Amino acid sequence: MKKTILLLMLSVAIFSCKNSEEKNTETEETTVENVQKIQAYKGDFISSDGALVLMGPNYIYGVKRDLLSEGLSKQVAAIKKNDFDMVGVIVKGIVSKNTDKESEWEEIITITEIMRIADKPSEIDIKLNETEKKN
């Protein structure tokens, strides 16, 4: 009788430990998944005609409007020399599919942290030379 009770208690303990391990694994995976979504992005930020854009070497994202992105826009506006200047920034954010029907961006970034803003506008990749018209 004692052996049966001992065996029964031992099996209950083993099954309950196994169940709690599965729950901990699910929690860890969910946490790791959320942390992986927040990444640092280095690129040029432009705010023109109400559009906020972050352009990197191999991506272009629309920027979701919120208090943080509006603050970044104001800081960049103080550095820009004209409306079309872009300013180098490093931000942390989450990139997601765009659900806003009015916006044409496929993916948008929600900025979670502003890490660095350049002191001057980015250099222009292509310069257009204007020539004088001769009469």
Q: What is the pLDDT of residue 100?
A: 80
Q: What is the pLDDT of residue 61?
A: 93
Residue 53: what are its φ and ψ, rounded to 5°? -135, 140
Say if residue 118's pLDDT is above 80.
yes
Q: Which domains does the chain have, with CATH numbers?
A: 38-121 (2.40.50.140)
pLDDT above 70: percentage of residues in the chain? 66
Query: Does an H or E element contain 115, and which?
Result: strand 107-121
Residue 96: what are its φ and ψ, rounded to 5°? -145, 165
Residues 87 and 118 sit within 8 Å (Cβ to Cβ): yes
Q: pLDDT of 16-49, one tens digit each?
A: 655 444 455 444 444 544 444 789 999 999 987 7
- Locate 78 and state its tokens: 């103080």
Report, in angstroms and rounded to the nearest whole number, the Rg of the chain calculated over CA atoms.
26
